[in-house]
Amino acid sequence: MDLLEVKSISKTYGSGETAVQALKNVSFTVPKGEFVAIVGESGPGKSTLLNMLGALDPPTSGQVFIDGKDTFSMKERELTIFRRRNIGFIFQAFNLIPELTVEQNIVFPVLLDYKKPDKKYLEELLAVLNLKERRHHLPSQLSGGQQQRVAIGRALMTRPSLILADEPTGNLDSQNSSEVIALLKKTAKKYEQTIIMITHSRSIAQTADRVLQVTDGVLTDFGRCCE
């Protein structure tokens, strides 16, 4: 069953002679549990696409369905709640709250939803992410790789069906990059989640189940690794 369905989305910034068409009639589907890498040259296309998949930026035309729901047909409050509960975001810059500990950063999205964190699940995540010994540390007391693991834990804490990762290894060395990608794949399989990741690294892209490329606003699907 498809978790994500993208139907003919286009995005244009500006108008007239200064208009920039970041995406041109992009369509694709992603089944539940698939790990997809999006590659391409520097430009607005990849990030624009990820922002639309995450319901952060509406397309100029077209539709995005997540688990059968048309995200951009929702009203703002409904969309905010849906996004918080169904989509986990992992950023290149980690975006951790510096005044909060590892544990507090991870549970923060649950508290935003006025819910109590699932303590058993939190302990499981801390163990999977190898952060139990660091749970009371602040981000400034962690290495880059550890900070990215905290960011992954935060994205997983709400048990979202979709994880969107924007250059999650961009600030890491090769060893930490490999560890983060292996961890993402492990947790996605364990928790039956779908991952869509932007990366400039061809070697990292090849670890995904499927690779998409955005060039001059046009999407090319290179298919699944086993096909």
Query: For the chain, how many structural domains are there in total?
Result: 1
Q: What does the pLDDT profile of the chain (227 residues) look like in tens digits?
A: 899 999 999 999 998 888 889 999 999 999 999 999 999 877 778 999 999 999 999 999 999 999 999 999 999 999 999 999 999 999 888 999 999 999 999 999 999 999 999 999 999 999 989 999 999 999 999 999 999 999 999 999 999 999 999 988 888 888 888 888 888 888 888 888 999 999 988 888 999 999 999 999 999 988 765 44
pLDDT at residue 227, as a whole number = 45
The DSSP result for the chain, as a single string, is: -EEEEEEEEEEEES-GGG-EEEEEEEEEEEETT-EEEEE-SSSSHHHHHHHHHTTSS--SEEEEEETTEEGGGS-HHHHHHHHHHHEEEEETT----TTS-HHHHHHHHHHHTT----HHHHHHHHHHTT-GGGTT--GGGS-HHHHHHHHHHHHHTT--SEEEEESTTTTS-HHHHHHHHHHHHHHHHHHT-EEEEE-S-HHHHTTSSEEEEEETTEEEEEEETT-
Q: Which range of residues forms the domain containing residue 99?
A: 2-224
* CATH code of residue 141: 3.40.50.300
